[in-house]
């Protein structure tokens, strides 16, 4: 059944997801489509785009969670926003099924053209106990929870006489040594160090941060010698970096590690905190569509970003970003395809929007071509690593490049100003290292007041 409150009488361009791809495409085409009598509709469960490169800083309290988002309604005034999740698409019939957030029955949305920008989800493996103890780093909610949790663990440890409990509370494990994992562990360690310095019952040496990486090196995006330098810097900060190591069991937070080569035991440790950043996979929703999907679950597109199957172009369907296998015409990329990152997603979105408008005017389409300009990563305050036009840079300069790049790359001037203002204020007053307790049980205070609070159980991330 169609939902009558949505535009029914106008040709619709349906955008699945309001992330980098969805937000950028809508921004570029909304006015033109509206003026031509059509409607651009974004369906996303979140009312905002998430600027994911800021999540490690949110987890470390260097940035407010909301500042890492760009509100869709505020910035896409000529776009119809639908708070829901697309659960299936029948492109042959040009309909998508939408599941509204929270309440309401699923309904069908018809469209004329579709843009697939559903991104990726955290890719985990069936490791015993993992889903009970671990958390990802893909959403603002995860990042905010990690911040509060780490600070709460520090507070808890400072009041625990039991040495094993204290060590467990202060052991923080990050699995995955890609950009997201390295930024997360570095930023968190930086915050934890500051929190411990403000707590005279603990010492910085009590903190135990552990990075577990299955490959023989970290950060495949930067040259090997720079990656080795980053490992050396992390180790100098007291972070334990375990390469060629994998997590075999996480039951009840008792982690069993193994060597990647011969699968022999590589140690055991107890922790309350496991953050999983070991990769992403294209949105599983794509499996519920009639689009051509490759072996990695991504929708197949040509270099002009039209969905393309074995029998050629599928009219009226476009895709880009993490949910698409976009050919990398520079000859780089993995397996001939662009790697899933924001640098590509935001640029592909611009090409997609231009091509979509060009196709309506019968003009020729352009192929997506982008030579990577470099990468930047923040590793805590005044620490960073960058690889720019073949040159590798570390330390405060790389950190400033990271902030300058991301501070201006977040869409809209309004967000840039908010982000810069937060950074400036934190530089002057220092970052806030107190946790907002019970964020996930906000009714607890009321329940305690009315004597209906549940019995205290062991805290869990």
Ligand X SMILES: Cc1cc2nc3c(=O)[nH]c(=O)nc-3n(C[C@H](O)[C@H](O)[C@H](O)COP(=O)(O)OP(=O)(O)OC[C@H]3O[C@@H](n4cnc5c(N)ncnc54)[C@H](O)[C@@H]3O)c2cc1C
Query: Where do contacts with ligand X occur on this chain (CB under 6 A)?
Result: 16-22, 43-46, 52-53, 55-56, 85-86, 117-119, 137-138, 179-180, 283, 285, 321-323, 340-343, 345
Which of 136/202 has CB closer to ligand X? 136
Q: Which residues contact 230 (CB under 8 A, 6 or more apart)?
A: 182, 218, 219, 222, 379, 385, 394
Minimum distance, C-beta of residue 225 to ligand X, in the bound complex (Å):
21
How far apart (Å, rounded) are the C-alpha atoms in residues 47 and 42? Answer: 10
- Residue among 278 and 285 whose Cβ is closer to ligand X: 285
Least Å from the CB of residue 403 to ligand X: 12
Distance of CA 66 to the CA centre of its chain: 14
Instruction: Specify whether the backbone of 450 is left (phi greater than 0), alpha (psi in -120 to 50) or beta.
Output: alpha
Residue number, 195 or 349, with CB nearest to ligand X:
349
CB of 251 to ligand X, least distance (A): 26
Q: With respect to ligand X, which residue has the nearer C-beta, 258 or 410?
A: 410
**Residue number with the smallest Cβ distance to ligand X:** 19
Interatomic CA distance for residues 222 and 398, integer angstroms: 13
- In whole angstroms, the minimum distance from the beta carbon of 53 to ligand X comes to 4
Q: Minimum Å distance from CB 145 to ligand X?
A: 14
Contact 85, 98 (CB under 8 A): yes
- Between 171 and 387, name the residue whose CB sits nearer to ligand X: 387
Q: Pick between residue 406 and residue 431 the one whose CB is nearest to ligand X.
A: 406
In this structure, are residues 330 and 322 in contact, taking their beta carbons and an 8 Å threshold?
Answer: no
Min dist CB 215 to ligand X, Å, is 18
| CA–centroid distance for 251 within its chain | 26
- Least Å distance between CB 406 and ligand X? 7
Q: Which is nearer to ligand X, 91 or 138 (CB)?
A: 138
Instruction: Name the minimum Å distance from CB 349 to ligand X.
Output: 7
Complex with ligand X: residue 267 or 411, whichever CB lies closer: 411
Residue closer to ligand X, measured from CB, 70 or 241: 70
**Cβ 405 to ligand X, closest distance in Å?**
9
Minimum distance of ligand X from residue 18's CB (angstroms): 5
What are φ and ψ of residue 158, in 5° steps? Answer: -70, -10
Backbone conformation region of residue 290, classed left if phi is above 0, alpha if psi is from -120 to 50, else beta: alpha
If the CB atoms of residues 101 and 260 are measured against ligand X, the closer one turns out to be 101
């Amino acid at each position: 059944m169609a939902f009558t409150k949505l535009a029914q009488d106008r040709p619709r361009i349906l955008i699945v997801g309001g992330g980098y791809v969805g937000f950028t495409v809508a921004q570029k085409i909304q006015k033109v489509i509206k003026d031509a009598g059509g409607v651009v509709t974004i369906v996303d469960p979140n009312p905002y785009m998430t600027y994911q490169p800021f999540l490690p800083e949110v987890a470390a309290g260097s940035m407010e969670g909301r500042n890492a988002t760009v509100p869709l309604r505020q910035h896409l005034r000529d776009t119809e926003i639908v708070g829901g999740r697309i659960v299936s698409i029948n492109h042959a019939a040009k309909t998508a099924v939408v599941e509204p957030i929270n309440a309401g029955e699923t309904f069908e949305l018809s469209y004329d053209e579709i843009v697939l920008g559903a991104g990726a989800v955290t890719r985990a493996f069936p490791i015993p106990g993992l889903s009970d103890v671990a958390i990802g780093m893909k959403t603002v909610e995860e990042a905010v929870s990690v911040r509060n949790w780490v600070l709460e663990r520090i507070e808890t440890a400072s009041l625990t006489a039991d040495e094993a409990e204290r060590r467990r509370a202060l052991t923080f494990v990050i699995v995955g040594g890609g950009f997201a994992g390295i930024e997360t562990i570095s930023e968190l360690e930086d915050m934890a160090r500051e929190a411990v310095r403000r707590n005279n019952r603990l010492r910085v040496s009590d903190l135990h941060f552990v990075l577990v990486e299955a490959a023989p090196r970290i950060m495949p995006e930067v040259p090997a010698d720079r990656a080795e330098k980053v490992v050396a810097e992390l180790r100098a900060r007291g972070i334990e970096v375990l390469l060629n190591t994998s997590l075999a069991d996480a039951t009840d937070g008792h982690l069993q590690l193994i060597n990647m080569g011969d699968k022999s035991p590589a140690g055991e440790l107890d922790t309350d905190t496991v953050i999983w950043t070991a990769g992403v996979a294209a949105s599983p929703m794509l499996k519920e569509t009639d689009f051509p999907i490759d072996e990695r679950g991504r929708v197949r597109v040509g270099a002009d970003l039209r969905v393309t199957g074995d029998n050629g172009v599928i009219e009226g369907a476009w895709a880009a970003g993490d949910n698409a296998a976009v050919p990398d015409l520079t000859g780089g990329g993995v397996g001939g395809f662009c790697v899933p990152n924001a640098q590509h997603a935001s640029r592909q979105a611009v090409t997609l929007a231009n091509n979509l408008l060009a196709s309506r005017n019968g003009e020729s389409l352009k192929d997506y071509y982008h030579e990577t300009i470099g990468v930047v990563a923040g590793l805590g305050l005044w620490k960073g690593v960058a690889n720019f036009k073949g040159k590798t840079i570390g330390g405060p300069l790389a950190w400033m490049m990271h902030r300058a790049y991301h501070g201006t790359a977040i869409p809209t001037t309004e967000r840039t100003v908010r982000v810069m203002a937060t950074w400036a204020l934190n530089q002057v007053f220092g970052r806030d290292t107190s946790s907002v307790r019970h964020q996930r049980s906000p009714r607890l205070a009321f329940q305690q007041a009315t004597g209906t609070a549940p019995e205290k159980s062991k805290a869990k991330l």
